[in-house]
Amino acid sequence: MARRLLRAAARTCPRLHVRKDRDALHDFRVSLRRLRTALRFYRPFLAGRVQKADLRALKRIASSTGAGRDAEVQIAHLKAFETALAASRRHAVAWLRSRIASQADPVGIMEAKRAFLSLETRLRPSLMKRPTLAESAQESRGPSFGRATGDMLLSAASRLQRDLAAVRSAHDSKRAHRARISGKRLRYLLEPLTGRSSAWSRALKQLKGLQDVLGELHDMHVLSQQIASAAEQHAVEIVRRRLAAAAAPRALRRRAKDPVPGLVLLARRVRRRELALFRGLGRSWGEVRKARFFGSLFSLAEGIR
């Protein structure tokens, strides 16, 4: 499993050079998270072939690509919101989009790619090496794959259950983000098992639906922060320009369109979307449905355990 996930992550690297491949960065980050989750959970059973430093390196690589991916996601959301604004206010979206695009870090993404390939070169021989007699003896004394995986599924599902229960309003951005991360980890544990039966596939499908809602809710929280931050920076820039132009002739002064009214309207629409997503989360993941989902998942985990 570890070798397969390592190869899958390596296959996404060449796509980072292709400008038209809009999913390349997303797929690279997902493959890193799948690999890191598996190595993190199963490291105790890999006979020292994966070190804590390797996990820290994977985390650094993923973190270094976060700004670029956030920029991609926010620009995509802005395009959807732009059509809902009056034509006289759309310049605010273009203004904000250019600011967000400037935050993308293509150099950092290429550095992340090089760092991963270096790590992959180091990990691959270790994971390909056949177990020694001592390692085989140690494995025979340890738990089976089913027992170890079942234990981890029970722990990860319990964590998600607690994190979901803590999300009580659309304002709980940090708690919702924690639930989103817990859902991702549980999902990556489930994915290799979905061929066992339709029940496993059904659980994964429900988990993906939850992740979609929590993911967009997180996107709206981040976009709200971007709008507020951009409006504050714009106010500071206006004051600086006025001070710098105080001694200039009026003929040389040029007034640009003010993006603030458009940003206010955009912030309202983002906030309405946040509330709609939270209400949808309540409908699709109410107490009864949550109880059914986790009851079924705990039963599946106990079964494989």
- pLDDT value of residue 105: 76
Burial of 35 (0-12, 13-18, 19+ CB in 10 A): buried
Rounded CA gap, 175 and 166, in Å?
Answer: 6
* Widest Cα–Cα separation across the chain: 86
- pLDDT value of residue 6: 95
SS (H, E, C) the chain: CHHHHHHHHHHHHHHHHCCCCCCHHHHHHHHHHHHHHHHHHHHHHCCCCCCHHHHHHHHHHHHHCHHHHHHHHHHHHHHHHHCCCCHHHHHHHHHHHHHHHHCCCHHHHHHHHHHHHHHHHHHHHHHHCCCCHHHHHHHHHCCCHHHHHHHHHHHHHHHHHHHHHHCCCCCCHHHHHHHHHHHHHHHHHHHHHCCCCHHHHHHHHHHHHHHHHHHHHHHHHHHHHHHHHHHHHHHHHHHHHHHHCCCCCHHHCCCCCCCHHHHHHHHHHHHHHHHHHHHHHHHHCCHHHHHHHHHHHHHHHHHHC
Rounded CA gap, 10 and 64, in Å?
Answer: 17
Query: 52-105: per-residue pLDDT in tens?
Result: 999 999 999 999 998 888 889 999 999 989 888 888 888 889 899 998 988 777
Stretches where the chain sits below pLDDT 50 are 251-252
Whether 154 and 298 have beta carbons less than 8 Å apart is answered as yes
CA distances from 11 to 27, 116, 117 (A): 10, 11, 10
Rounded CA gap, 36 and 235, in Å?
Answer: 42
Query: 22-51: per-residue pLDDT in tens?
Result: 899 999 999 999 999 999 999 988 888 899
Q: What is the pTM of this model?
A: 0.85
CB-CB neighbours of 281 under 10 Å: 19
Whether 214 and 179 have beta carbons less than 8 Å apart is answered as yes
Whether 219 and 73 have beta carbons less than 8 Å apart is answered as yes
Rounded CA gap, 161 and 289, in Å?
Answer: 12
* Radius of gyration in angstroms for the set of CA atoms belonging to the chain, rounded to a whole number: 24
CB-CB neighbours of 155 under 10 Å: 14
Structure tokens at 158: 């319990």
- pLDDT value of residue 196: 81
- pLDDT value of residue 248: 62
